[in-house]
Structure 1
């Protein structure tokens, strides 16, 4: 995997997985569709990780040259529309937004290289 040459922005976000769907959510992420993985990579989502607390709090982290461009790139991908529709029932409090639009982005206050 090549490392992008442009500076990357670190993005951390929160979502809430429904407590009754935790194991199903884990299972879905053991087999992310190959075309979804390719779309994420191709649109600038790098070093992407998800962390799940037992109560369903999901913490996501990724690096990207541009969050706006990464989101716009995924919005143009058909596979993303299918994935977001498939994943939406796993989450609480999205207020009609897709999970990739409804996450709460956290402010970075410290980073140690």
Structure 2
């Protein structure tokens, strides 16, 4: 599973309309997002129009390709493009990805396996 986080800037003068467009998103677009393999998808809006998106997928390249070829996604993204500052291309294809530097579950799992390895080594003596 891959976790993907991205950042975009929504034009401040269009914030209310942007929020309204997502309350709710078109049902056929929701279906396309799910069909692409993206899940646990959320958008968070910060001060000044900073938008952070997050989703999980098993194959991000396949999800990107699916949405790039989707007529529904193309229509949605054509309407959404005007909301963003400094964006070249479709928002779903051109968003700036963020690098993950910490994940609690991953580190707990690693710490647990390290503790198990240490316990095994201690018992081997």
Query: Which TM-score applies when normalising by structure 2?
Result: 0.82
Unaligned segments of structure 2, at least 5 residues: 106-125
The reply to whether residue 54 of structure 1 matches residue 50 of structure 2 is no
Q: Deviations over 1:55-109 (max 9, x none)?
A: 00000000001111100011111000100000000001112x1101221101111
Quote the RMSD (CA, aligned, Å). Answer: 0.7
Runs ≥4 in structure 1, deviation > 2 angstroms?
A: none
Structure having the larger proportion of residues in helix: 2
Unaligned segments of structure 1, at least 5 residues: 1-7
> Offset of 1:54 from its aligned partner?
2.6
Residues paired across the two proteins, number:
105
Q: Per chain length, whose mean CA-contact separation is higher, i.e. which structure has more relative contact order (CA < 8 Å, sep 6+)? A: 1
Question: Which has the higher Rg, Structure 1 or Structure 2?
Answer: 2
Structure having the larger proportion of residues in strand: 1
Query: Which TM-score applies when normalising by structure 1?
Result: 0.90
